Amino acid sequence: MTKLIDVAKAAGVSIATVSRVLNNPETVNADTQQRVQQAIKSLNFRPSRVAQRLRSKGGNSKIIGLVLPDIQNPFYVDVIRGIEEVMYEHGYAAIMCNFAQDEKRERLYLDILKSESIDGLIVAPVHGRDQKVAGLVLSGLPIVCIDRGLTGVEADVVLVDNQQGAYDAVSHLIKLGHRRIAYISGLPQIPTSRARLAGYEMAFRENELVVDEELIKYGDSKHESGMKLTEELLALPTPPTALFTGNNLITLGALETIHRQGLKIPEEIALVGFDDMYWSISLNPPLTAVKQPGFEMGKRAAELLFQRIKDPSRPTAKVVFDAKLQVRSSCGATTIKTS
């Protein structure tokens, strides 16, 4: 590996000067700069980011951590792409950690990231009272939360108005005449699960309808739980006429169960999902779903993080995006908006 000293020799200067042209070119004579740049180029030199990181703590190690609950969920994939987009422009890299909705795993990754001396962290905490993340925030590490906020500590956060999104979805179902509407939720300790439940209940309340608790099921937000809980729901003495699924993966699981049982959507059971996918239109039937702008959310989160790294004392921001209902045909005949 070629290093500072090699470049220094080649250019006939000291390593300090080389370091300077790397970090503060303006403090170096134009022609010295030239010679050094030459040497750098011809030796194909790249400074060791590890050594840089060890030396200068905080803010210029050009690496951040990314801790997300489930990489199988296309929503998070969009978030990742958004984050990556702006990081790429800044020459940053990300250490990506997928904790698969498992708190133990989240903690391990957080420990690793900490000892990697990252510049900042974008995280969707396992739950609102995530002590590990809270501790990191308090320790001064620049952090922005995505998708899920943190209670009790100040931190930047970008998310969607989950309650309103769920409210719109369920209202849509109610308007279509449905009364027995089931909700398949993710784990209740996840803030988004609760906000979506609140939206569901609000829609009932506003229509002076009463929620039937047996129609609310909790799972772990994965495909399998979507399948299983849909089975349970369909096996009820009086099964629901409509299903509101709490996320992407649950929706796909519900669809699978419904298809396996040969039920017709929306005639025998209607379906709205939280989280849209760009191929929702190709599902059977084209899925009506609440769309979160994952890509934009990711970009915004990364921008917030960079701002906070630059100015750690700036006031925290809370960015709330709208969740929009995409009406297709899984709830009944309506105008089919092409996604």
Partner DNA sequence: ATGAAAGCGCTAACAG
Partner DNA sequence: CTGTTAGCGCTTTCAT
Eight-state DSSP code of residue 12: T
Q: Residues with Cβ < 8 Å from 26, sequence gap 6 or more?
A: none
Choose, by CB under 8 A, the member of 10, 22, 113, 203 that binds its own copies: 113
Residue 83's alpha-carbon distances to 95, 153, 236, 294, in angstroms, are: 12, 23, 43, 10
Interaction between residue 326 and DNA (CB under 7 A): no
Quote the least distance from Cβ 117 to its own copies, whole Å: 5
Is-contact 246 274, C-beta < 8 A? yes
CB of 37 to its own copies, least distance (A): 17
Q: Could you tell which of DNA, its own copies, none binds residue 64, using a CB distance below 5 to 8 A set by kind? A: none
205 binds, among DNA, its own copies, none (CB under 5 to 8 A by kind): none
Q: What gap in Å lies between CA 8 and CA 69, rounded to an integer?
A: 46
C-alpha dist (Å) from residue 43 to 10, 22, 25, 28, 39: 9, 15, 19, 20, 6
Rule CB under 7 A: which of 292-321 touch DNA? none
Neighbours of 294 (CB within 10 A): 24
Residue type, 37: Q
Q: Which of residues 22-51 bind DNA (CB under 7 A)?
A: 22-23, 27-29, 32-33, 47-48, 51
Residue 118 near DNA by CB under 7 A? no
Cα–Cα distance for residue pair 181/151, rounded to 1 Å: 30
Q: Give the span between the Cα atoms of 187 and 221, in whole angstroms.
A: 7
For residue 211, the partner it binds in DNA, its own copies, none, with Cβ less than 5 to 8 A by kind, is: none
- Taking the C-alpha atoms of residue 101 and residue 103, their distance in angstroms, rounded to an integer, is 6
23 binds, among its own copies, DNA, none (CB under 5 to 8 A by kind): DNA
| 318 contact choice in DNA, its own copies, none (CB below 5 to 8 Å, kind-dependent) | none
In the DSSP assignment, the letter for residue 25 is G
- The binder of 4, among its own copies, DNA, none, by C-beta within 5 to 8 A per type, is DNA
List the interface residues with its own copies, window 231-260 (CB under 8 A).
252, 255-256, 259-260
Interface residues with its own copies (CB under 8 A)? 46-51, 53-54, 62-63, 66, 71-72, 74, 77, 80-81, 84, 88, 91, 93-98, 105, 108-109, 111-117, 223, 252, 255-256, 259-260, 278-279, 281-286, 338
